[in-house]
């Protein structure tokens, strides 16, 4: 389990995946103090005025994870990361090889750079379809090792691979785990390599990212508080 000095209620990151700022703000207001950390991804980025929404959240004491998954030539990625720093953002995500990750790290300033290993929407068959003739756990481990060598602060990883990462690479880096599902996936769910809240933290995650299971709940604030209670119980148990 994570031994880092992270406030327990900040370990839940809510994926603010909605189509407009009005919808985003209404959801944030509804969630209130049940969520302190928000992930802003590509959908809300495309709604426009990304920095305006970030400022609005910061004014309400929220923390920000800019999940834009930069992947381009090193200089372009470096320039993009430079645009994010100094704005009160905590994390941002980067894809790519060693040179791309190193370029991002050089420009990170006050940001923490998280390297994407393998998306939780991909399973072994998907990896093989992409041309990788390797076990998915080995691919995650290889990419995580490269990311840490490049100076990244942590990785995005399924909770299924987190134990191996901790065993092989230690406990000093951040592991942020998306694809959290409270129950067995339904066929329509696009997440494939999932764990539940308790399993994620037991496997070594520092943070979890949850979106639809909270957003689509009859009472999103109640659902978020239930997740917070589960997280708190995991860390009380130790």
Domain of 144 in residue numbering reads as 8-237
**pLDDT confidence of residue 188:** 43
| The residue to which tokens 């700022």 are assigned | 21
Q: What is the mean pLDDT of the chain?
A: 90
* pLDDT confidence of residue 186: 41
Does 146 map to a domain? Answer: yes
Task: Return the pLDDT at 108.
Answer: 98
Cite the active site residues: 69
Q: Considering its fold, how many domains does the chain have in total?
A: 1
Q: Report pTM.
A: 0.89
Alpha-carbon distances, residue 13 vs 90, 138, 172, 206 (angstroms): 12, 27, 20, 11
Reading the block at residue 86, the tokens are 């100094």
1 within domain boundaries:
no
Kindly state whether residue 3 falls inside one of the protein's structural domains: no
For the stretch 77-93, pLDDT in tens is: 999 999 999 999 999 99
Q: Tell me, what's the pLDDT at 194? A: 65
Q: What is the CATH number of the domain that holds 228?
A: 3.20.20.70
Residues of the chain with pLDDT under 50: 183-190, 192-193
The reported pLDDT for the residue numbered 185 is 40
Cα–Cα dist 50/42, whole Å: 10
């Amino acid at each position: 389990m994570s031994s880092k000095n992270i406030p327990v209620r900040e370990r839940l990151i809510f994926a603010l995946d909605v189509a407009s700022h009005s919808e985003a703000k209404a959801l944030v207001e509804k969630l209130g103090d049940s969520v302190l950390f928000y992930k802003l991804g590509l959908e809300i980025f495309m709604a426009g005025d990304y920095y305006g929404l970030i400022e609005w959240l910061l004014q309400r004491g929220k923390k920000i994870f800019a999940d834009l998954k930069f992947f381009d030539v090193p200089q372009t990625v470096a320039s993009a990361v430079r645009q994010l720093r100094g704005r009160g953002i905590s994390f941002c995500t980067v894809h790519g090889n060693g040179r791309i990750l190193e370029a991002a790290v050089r420009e990170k300033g006050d940001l923490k750079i998280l390297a994407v290993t393998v998306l939780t929407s991909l399973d072994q068959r998907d990896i093989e379809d992409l041309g990788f003739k390797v076990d998915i756990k080995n691919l995650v481990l290889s990419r995580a090792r490269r990311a840490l060598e490049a100076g990244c602060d942590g990785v995005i990883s399924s909770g299924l691979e987190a134990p191996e990462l901790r065993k092989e690479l230690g406990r000093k880096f951040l592991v942020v785990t998306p694809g959290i599902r409270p129950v067995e996936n339904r066929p329509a769910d696009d997440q494939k390599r999932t764990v539940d809240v308790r399993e994620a933290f037991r496997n070594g995650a520092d943070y979890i990212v949850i979106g639809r299971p909270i957003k689509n709940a009859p009472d999103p604030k109640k659902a978020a508080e239930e997740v917070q209670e589960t997280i708190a119980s995991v860390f009380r148990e130790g």
